[in-house]
Amino acid sequence: MHKPGRHFLQIPGPTNVPDDVLRAIDHPTMDHRSPEFGDLGLRALSGMKWVFKTAADVVIYPASGTGAWEAALVNTLSAGDRVLMCETGHFAWLWHRLATRLGLEPEIIPTDWRTGADIAAIAERLRQDDGHSIKAVCVVHNETSTGCTSDIAGVRAAIDSVGHPALLMVDTISSLGSIDYRHDEWGVDVTIGGSQKGLMLPPGLSFNAVSAKARAASDQAALPRSFWSWDEMFAANRTGYFPYTPSTNLLYGLVVAIERMQKEGLDAIFARHQRHAEATRRAVNAWGLEVLCRTPEHYSGALTAVMMPEGHSADAFRKVVHERLNMSLGNGLGRLANRVFRIGHLGDFNDLMLAGTLSGVEMGLKIAGVPHARGGVGAALDYLSGEISATAAKAAA
């Protein structure tokens, strides 16, 4: 059936790709061994250092985020190594499963999937590990399945407070370019990123930012690695080239996406995301529904997961929104299947796109017969417009 107008892609990634990024990708594929290519490669690599806030090395893989998860582990660890992970939600659980499949011995600190990583529990477990058998602590910065963030500076402080030498690995797949993140300042050893969320690109690129300590660990690490091997990447990257065929056209897009981000500025981007998240939560509260994240200090700027009232199917509601209103919302994953829907408000996004998104949710609740109060959109718009007026008044004063 023909659906006029633009589809609203409001899942928490992949996100809307801005037109100039699409235009950049839509160029003839170049020879990735040509003299011109090295310049593109170097621009992409140095731009990603800016995004990660690091002076350390960055690796760009032609792969989805799962590949960069695997790369972080196989480059730094050996079979049987103990790894401490935090089960903040479905993605943390998938990373744990990946570690198990690789022959690592991950231990997992559980949560109720409604909050961030338990920092006190991390510190306590590391304190007990006198023999330093735990080789890495792995945390998902923004758990895309729940809309809860974790305090990465706090995790670093917990590791330091007990003087433990474990590597710190952080998944920023749905926070990078949306929520404040600082690879160097927070002492992260391997940061994992992906192209399809805050970076406003299609899926297909993923990243590792690698500290000097992680590089040193990779010299000793014995897990088999070939495609993911950092060494060959670093050697070729020095001149902007890759050891195998890179995703050339996505790199065209990446350079333009980073230029867009540099024009807006990272702080402004993070503030924009927080503002849209706050407006979304106000809408949810006005509807009389509940935000899944129960600890405000962990609220996500990138997405909001909303709990469905008892006895109502989140998937049936999402189906109505998709079919009748031409909008995609995120589904509940793992143990949250059919119990929550997720509103993505990340990437290339503005006030009126959010207004349209929330209008679609409010209409969908009505059409699907989900009990709610009216006025969510109004509450969000009041907040957004009030905030614009307050900022203007401050500037004029």
Residues in touch with ligand PLP (CB under 6 A): 13, 64-66, 91, 140, 144, 171, 173-174, 194, 203
User: Which residues make beta-bridge pairs with 210?
Assistant: 57, 190
Which is nearer to ligand PLP, 65 or 376 (by Cβ)? 65
**Residue 20 CB, nearest approach to ligand PLP (Å):** 23
- Closer CB to ligand PLP, residue 140 or residue 291? 140
Give the shortest CB-12-to-ligand PLP separation in angstroms.
7
Q: Are 85 and 96 in contact (CB under 8 A)?
A: yes
- DSSP characters over 192-219: EEESSSTT---S--EEEEE-HHHHHHHH
97 vs 238 by CB, closer to ligand PLP: 97
Q: Which is nearer to ligand PLP, 114 or 372 (CB)?
A: 114
CB of 250 to ligand PLP, least distance (A): 13
Residue 216: CB partners within 8 Å, gap ≥ 6?
Answer: none
Shortest Å, Cβ 116 to ligand PLP? 13
User: Which H or E element spans position 230?
Assistant: helix 230-237
How far is C-alpha 278 from the chain's CA centre?
18
Nearest distance from residue 183's CB to ligand PLP, in Å? 16
Shortest spacing between CB 312 and ligand PLP, in angstroms = 25
Closest to ligand PLP by CB, 199 or 377: 199
Residue reference for tokens 């994953």: 333
Instruction: Give every CB contact of residue 348 below 8 A, 6+ residues apart in sequence.
Output: 15, 16, 17, 18, 200, 260
Which of 362, 387, 357, 388 lies closest to 373, judged by CA?
A: 362
Residue among 171 and 180 whose Cβ is closer to ligand PLP: 171
CB of 27 to ligand PLP, least distance (A): 24
**Amino acid (one-letter) located at 335:** R
- Alpha carbons 115 and 298: distance in angstroms, whole number: 6
Q: Which residues contact 360 (CB under 8 A, 6 or more apart)?
A: 8, 10, 321, 325, 327
CB of 112 vs ligand PLP, minimal distance in Å: 18
Q: How many C-beta atoms surround the C-beta of residue 307 within 10 A?
A: 18
Burial (CB < 10 A; 0-12, 13-18, 19+), residue 105, is middle
Phi, psi of 197 (to 5 degrees): -125, -105
Q: Residue 14: is the preceding peptide bond cis (ω within 30°)? A: yes
Whole-angstrom distance between the N-terminal and C-terminal Cα of the chain?
53
Question: Nearer to ligand PLP by C-beta: 138 or 368?
Answer: 138
Nearer to ligand PLP, 64 or 229 (CB): 64
Give the Cα separation of 189 and 209 in Å (integer): 8
Q: How far is the CB of 203 from ligand PLP (least distance, A)?
A: 6
Q: Which residue is nearest to ligand PLP (CB)?
A: 65
Nearer to ligand PLP, 84 or 205 (CB): 205
